[in-house]
Amino acid sequence: MTTNNGTGGVLWAGRWGFVLAATGSAVGLGNIWKFPYMTGEYGGGAFVLVYLLCIAAIGVPLMMAEIAFGRRGRGSPVEAVKRVVAESGGGSAWSILGWMSMICGFMILSFYVVVAGWSLSYLWKAVSGGLNADSVEGMAAIFEDNNASPLNLGFWSTLVTLVTMLIVGKGVQEGIERSVRWMMPGMVVMLAILIGFGIFSGGFGQAVDFLFAFEFGQLSSEGLLAAMGHAFFTLSLAAGAIMAYGAYLPAGKSIARTTFTVAICDTLIALMAGLAIFPIIFANGMDPAGGPGLIFMSLPLAFAQMPMGTLLEIVFFVMLTMAALTSAISMIEATIAWLVESHGITRNRAAWSTGIVLWLVSTLAMLSFNLGADWTLGGRTFFDWLDYLTSRFLMPLGGLGLALLAGFALKDRLLRDELGLSWGGHALWLFMIRYVCPLAIVVIFIDALGIMTLEMATQWPWGLAALTLFVVIGEWLSPRLRRQPAH
Ligand code: TRP
């Protein structure tokens, strides 16, 4: 490569490199573990519809901005944001966004490896016949048991950390791209097998009704909020992952088209996971609102009652573990890229040193389920705090910052070049990134702080009034914020 840049000229090797890696990042525990149980909890179809709207209205424009930043800056998120802002002649305060997203990715991974460890330990239990309880209570006891011993739980989360670091340490092409190239198709095949069984289980019609019957009366304002938050999480936004991957995207590729592909694949896989899980749940007469334990308690119980259940269970947990791994590697890529570019060390070295710090933090998170269950602050364990701080603060704030930076503070020409959209396409993107994203994020954020409930915003005249006000203020401010002379 001839470009001299922070990524050392590394690019995805294959035509599908970026799409596979970014889809691998997006498709994770969020799709297979969280999305089905949230849909169950918040009442089905209406939740799904709002979630889809959020993906389209907030997720897609923001993901496009992140990729554009990464590719324009050609460096770790820290460096990329700094460079893009510098190129536009903006103030250095914006570079805090790069740092924030890198730290956010690291924090998410610190608790994500614990959940991925559950998945891996369940795979082992499925293989060794350890999921043999015949009641929900029995399955719950197995889950508790699995958590109770720090050595046991620590073993599995350590294993996840190790594998993640091994893959990332090998490099962008040799490690990340190579692993996603077989894990992603593998996952889809396994999901298809599970859906195939779902169709014949007798619960398929009920599952389809449950997922796609849009009954708005059932959606609470909390469900609305959860749908928005989940749209962020499931697309891996505002945590450095997509921006770091964007830095390796070859120049000629259309950012809009790749973003659509990733968002559509992510959504399809979440829906497929629903179509794989709910038929089994319904066919065995179980409660779809099983909460976070849905796939660790209700689902194994359903499998235990099915012919070939053990085999399907193994397929399920292999798939879940792979989904978790392809996400885990994306969360740490920002940190690795930053260490390599700022300290001039090898990727391998960067991976091992990051791995040690990650192991320490994730061990603390793991202890929240046993020894450290009482080490709480404000009623939250360390694990809960990592989850809470990232999903309620760092991600929304980072997303808000990025949207404001991309929409208002940067010279329009810069991202216009990078995105290369038609006139109308760019105008639409700009409208979304300037007004729709910030407004939606502010609403999530305010609600998280408990200052206001969403009820106000769900009344559409208020929402419309707020949006109008926002547009007027924004259009008045934006030329004043960009005070550099044109070129
Ligand atoms: N999107 C992944 C999931 O659905 C999780 C994930 C990967 C993530 N990378 C991220 C979440 C970065 C936030 C930020 O499971």
Query: Per-residue pLDDT tens for 230-243?
Result: 898 999 999 999 99
Ligand 1 centroid to Cα of residue 464, in Å, is 31
If you search the block for the tokens 């947990």, which residue do you land on? 317
373 burial via Cβ count (<10 Å: 0-12, 13-18, 19+): middle
Ligand 1 centroid to residue 396 C-alpha, Å: 14
Residue nearest to atom 9 of ligand 1 (CA): 236
Does pLDDT of 333 surpass 50? yes
What pLDDT does 487 receive? 43
Ligand 1 pocket check for 179: Cβ under 6 Å? no
Burial class of 76 by CB neighbour count within 10 A (0 to 12, 13 to 18, 19+): buried
- Alpha carbon nearest to ligand 1 atom 13, residue: 236
CA of 465 to the centre of ligand 1 (A): 33
**Would you say the CB of residue 30 lies under 6 angstroms from ligand 1?**
yes
Percent of the chain whose predicted confidence (pLDDT) is above 90: 53
Mean pLDDT for 182-190 is: 89
- pLDDT score, position 36: 87
Give me the chain's average pLDDT, please: 88
* Cβ atoms within 10 Å, residue 409: 17
Arithmetic mean of pLDDT, 104-131: 94
Give the pLDDT confidence of 39-97 residue by residue, as tens digits. 888 878 888 998 999 999 999 999 999 999 999 999 999 999 999 999 988 788 898 99
pLDDT attached to residue 293: 77
pLDDT at 134: 82
Task: Give yes or no for residue 243 CB within 6 A of ligand 1.
Answer: no
Q: Is 97 in the pocket of ligand 1 (CB under 6 A)?
A: no
Percent of the chain at pLDDT > 70 equals 93
In whole angstroms, how far apart are CA 386 and each of 23, 58, 138, 151, 361? 24, 23, 29, 21, 10
Burial environment of residue 224 by CB neighbours within 10 A (0 to 12, 13 to 18, 19 or more): buried
Number of H helices, E strands in the chain: 24, 0
Element (H, E) at 237: none
Find out whether the beta carbon of 233 lies less than 6 Å from any atom of ligand 1. yes
CA of 25 to the centre of ligand 1 (A): 6
Higher pLDDT, 1 or 456: 456
Indicate whether 485 pLDDT > 50. no
108: Cβ below 6 Å to ligand 1? yes
Does residue 328 line the site of ligand 1, with CB under 6 A?
A: no
Ligand 1 pocket member 241 (CB < 6 A): yes
Cβ–ligand 1 distance for 78 under 6 Å, the answer no
Q: Cα dist. 32→50, 123, 448 in Å?
A: 18, 15, 24
Kindly report each contact of residues 423-432 with a partner whose C-beta sits within 8 Å and lies 24 or more positions away, as own/partner: 425/256, 429/61, 429/64, 429/256, 432/57, 432/58, 432/60, 432/61
Please give the distance, rounded to the nearest whole angstrom, from the Cα atom of residue 68 to the centre of ligand 1. 19
How far apart are the CA of 391 and the centre of ligand 1, in A?
A: 10
Name residues whose C-beta falls within 8 Å of residue 202's C-beta, 6 or more positions apart in sequence. Answer: 279, 283
Rounded CA gap, 118 and 116, in Å? Answer: 5
Question: According to the CATH classification, is domain 15-477 in 3.40.50.1000?
Answer: no
Mean pLDDT of 227-231: 86
Where are the alpha helices (H) located in 344-381, listed in sequence order? Answer: 347-367
pLDDT, tens digit, 9 for 90 and up, residues 157-166:
999 999 999 9
pLDDT over threshold 70, residue 452? no
For ligand 1, atom 6, the nearest C-alpha belongs to: 236
Q: Which atom of ligand 1 is nearest to the CA of 104?
A: 14
Q: What are the structure tokens assigned to 104, written together?
A: 């956010």
| CB 88 near ligand 1, within 6 Å | no
Residue-wise pLDDT for 271-318, tens only, equals: 999 998 888 888 878 888 777 778 888 888 888 877 888 998 999 999
Q: Supply 138's token pair.
A: 């029995």
Residue 146 in this model has a pLDDT that exceeds 80? yes
